[in-house]
Amino acid sequence: MERLLDVLREQLRLTGTKEGCGEGECGACTVVINGEIVNSCLVPVAQVEGAEIKTIEGVASGDQLHAVQQAFIEYGGAQCGICTPGMVIAAVDLLERNPHPNEAEIRNGLAGNLCRCTGYMKIFESVVRACQQECQEMLDISDK
């Protein structure tokens, strides 16, 4: 038995995906399998034969960063960086399912991703900024 996380990092050298807790609590190893986010530390690689997997390496289009990535850079969404790939993947997944999330929906979308630097407000702000036009009204509320 092999974990998807280990195959990604050790065999494919896709080291953007991080290992945090190794038990599905922290979300650092989040990847997308067939359009759904999962904790890759909990997925045996035998279960993904034929599946489409997207890691953090596949979020940008060439040199063009995804709006979420750009926002994390501009608004300080990353501190030590270990949770960042998982946070970005979860945020991108959220915005793909729901382009105009409200505050509760953003919190729910990122609830499975823990940041030990506890930079949650900056992360939250980065996700809000990523859908800035649509979320302007919400920003006005959260700034108060």
Residues interacting with another protein, by CB under 8 A? 1-3, 22-25, 27, 30, 36-39, 41-44, 46-47, 49, 90, 93, 108-109, 111-114
- Beta partners for residue 53, in sequence order: 33
Least Å distance, CB 134 to another protein, is 21
Q: Which is nearer to another protein, 113 or 126 (CB)?
A: 113
Least gap, CB of 10 to another protein (angstroms)? 12
Residue 26 host element (H or E) = none
In Å, what is the CA distance from 114 to each residue of 68, 98, 99, 103, 111? 17, 21, 22, 17, 8
Only one residue has tokens 């105009």, namely 100
Nearby residues of 21 by Cβ (< 8 Å), 6 or more positions away: 28, 41
Residue corresponding to tokens 């940041």: 115
Closest approach, Cβ 8 to another protein, in A, equals 15
Q: Smallest gap, in angstroms, from Cβ of residue 73 to another protein?
A: 24
Q: At what angle do helices 120-130 and 84-97 cross, to 10 degrees?
A: 40
Decide whether 74 or 116 has the Cβ nearer to another protein: 116
**25 or 61: CB nearest another protein:** 25
Residue with tokens 């979860």: 90
Shortest distance, CB of residue 106 to another protein, whole angstroms? 12
